[in-house]
Amino acid sequence: MSLPITDIKDNVEHLDQPSLNDVAFTPGSVEEKRLVRKIDRRILPILWLMYILNYLDRTNIGNAKTGGMQADLKLSSSDYSLVLSIFFVGYLLNEVPCNMILSRTRPSLFLPTIMFCWGAMSIGAKGVNSLGGMVAFRFFLGIIEAGFFPGVMLLLSCWYKPAELSKRVAFFYTASLMSGAFGGLLAGGIITGLEGVAGTRGWKCTTRWLSEDERRLAVDRLVVASLEAAVAEEADISHMQAFKLAVKNPRTWAFLITYNMLNSVGTISYFFPTLMTSLGYTGQKSQFMTVPIYAVALVIALAVGFSADKTGQKAYHGIGACLLGVVSFVICATVSNNAVRYTFICFGGAGIWSCIPILLSWLVTMFEGRESRAISIALINGFGNLSSVYGSFFWPSDQAPQYHMGFAITTALLGATGVAIGLIKYFYGDRGVQKTN
């Protein structure tokens, strides 16, 4: 899997400001559909698998907490929130530099390299025996992982047209949901089955594949979709010029604020095992009961992604997903029946994780130019994930078992996200978004 951005640049350098008149392909043709299927088979499965491992590595901290880490490291509720949030400080600091590097290199080298590094680091968690050690570990883990997710978003935006992105980003994002579900099963088995083994607590444990005609078709269809029309004029832009363009673009800040609010709501996933305990599930069962939450979200997120591409209405689908979350979390905060609360935690999570891929697939189509788009995506994702610094404090242990504060803040922020999506659509429209055939 080599970098399509570089390939696009190489293939259009001989074009003089490509326009629709230069393009010799018919949208929706048999050749284009065959090409898209080939791209799907080549790119999506490996990215999906990589994201499973990435998200499992990042979020198993919630399972480790209930599996003995909190007691072993003598963590208070605020200590645990610090351990969660420090990851995103490192994550923010390195996102823009990583995407700057990625915009001029190959993901076949860059992405596996950072993946190897975070895997090696995770093995070192076995030697962490204090709060300070865990904070340092999580900080540097954030620095290493910073380049993966925004890099993938940049990669996808350079292969697919806007009307093709929602379902593919939704598919990619289901890896995080599978990871959450699999993580609960894995954590339950590890914490129980490997407890004390060897004296260790359970919680520690290129485009060469395209022909010349296919490469040209891949470029032409993106020119038509207005995704890469600015490639030639930005071929020699510097990192600093691209950074200034991204910072001056009001769309960057509109999406940054919106994604920040949405991501702060997503921190509920770190507390699912804790919420399961508050619903009366203990031990291994508290881990296993997180699985249906992700399963429900996976099904709904895929359905929403396909529908958004089919209708071309990404903004309205995002607003609908926010509304589902708002209604669900209001019910969670106001009823006392644990079965009802569990059911609507599932639907509330589905609202969050249906909205995130819709928003991501929309925002990557809203920025022209390879370099500036790379930086805009990194800024949005970096500051969006910084919300986890404060979002991890929404669920203090003294709020158990109802957690009214967490559900109230989550409801308010989801509602605000829905309003923000509506405002972005009103002021900036749905650039490049149309129905699929």
Cα separation values, 430 from 94, 254, 433, Å: 30, 14, 5
Buried b (16+ CB within 10 A) or exposed e, 352-388: bbbbbbbbbbbbbbbbbbbbbbbbbbbbbbbbbbbbb
| Residue 331 vs residues 153, 328, 339, 416: alpha-carbon distances, Å | 34, 5, 12, 18
Q: Domain tally for the chain?
A: 1
287 found inside a domain: yes
Q: Which domain holds residue 85?
A: 4-428
Is 434 within the bounds of a domain? no
Residues 161, 169: Cα–Cα separation, whole Å: 12
pTM, entire model: 0.74
Whole-angstrom CA distances from 343 to 280, 297, 398 are: 14, 12, 23
- In the block, residue with structure tokens 């990589």: 50
Q: Quickly count: other Cβ atoms within 10 Å of residue 22's Cβ.
A: 13
Cα–Cα distance for residue pair 353/357, rounded to 1 Å: 7
Q: Per-residue pLDDT tens, the chain, 437 aa: give them.
A: 444 444 444 444 443 444 444 555 567 788 888 888 998 998 899 899 888 877 776 666 766 666 677 777 888 878 877 887 788 888 888 888 888 887 777 777 888 888 888 888 877 777 778 888 888 888 998 898 888 888 888 888 878 888 888 889 888 888 877 776 665 555 444 445 444 444 444 434 365 667 777 777 777 676 666 544 444 444 556 778 888 888 999 999 999 999 999 999 988 887 888 888 888 888 778 778 888 898 899 999 999 999 998 888 999 999 999 999 999 999 999 998 999 999 999 999 999 999 999 999 898 888 877 778 888 888 898 888 778 778 778 888 888 888 899 999 999 999 999 999 999 999 988 754 444 44
268 inside domain: yes
For 253, residues 6+ apart whose C-beta sits below 8 A from its C-beta are none
Give every CB contact of residue 94 below 8 A, 6+ residues apart in sequence: 142, 143, 144, 146, 147
Residue among 178, 147, 155, 143 nearest 2 (CA): 155
- CATH number of the domain to which 154 belongs: 1.20.1250.20
Q: Is residue 330 part of a domain?
A: yes
Distances (CA, A) of 220 to 21, 27, 181, 229: 11, 10, 40, 10
In a domain, 94, yes or no: yes
31 in Cβ contact with 25 (< 8 Å)? yes
Helix, strand, coil share of the chain (percent; to 5):
80, 0, 20
Query: What pLDDT does residue 6 have?
Result: 45
Distances (CA, A) of 274 to 61, 193, 285, 352, 402: 12, 21, 12, 19, 11
- Residue 437 belongs to a domain: no
pLDDT reported for residue 62: 63
> What pLDDT does residue 22 have?
52
Coil, strand or helix at 45: helix
Closest of 332, 302, 329, 342 to residue 417, by C-alpha: 329
Residue 259 lies in a domain: yes
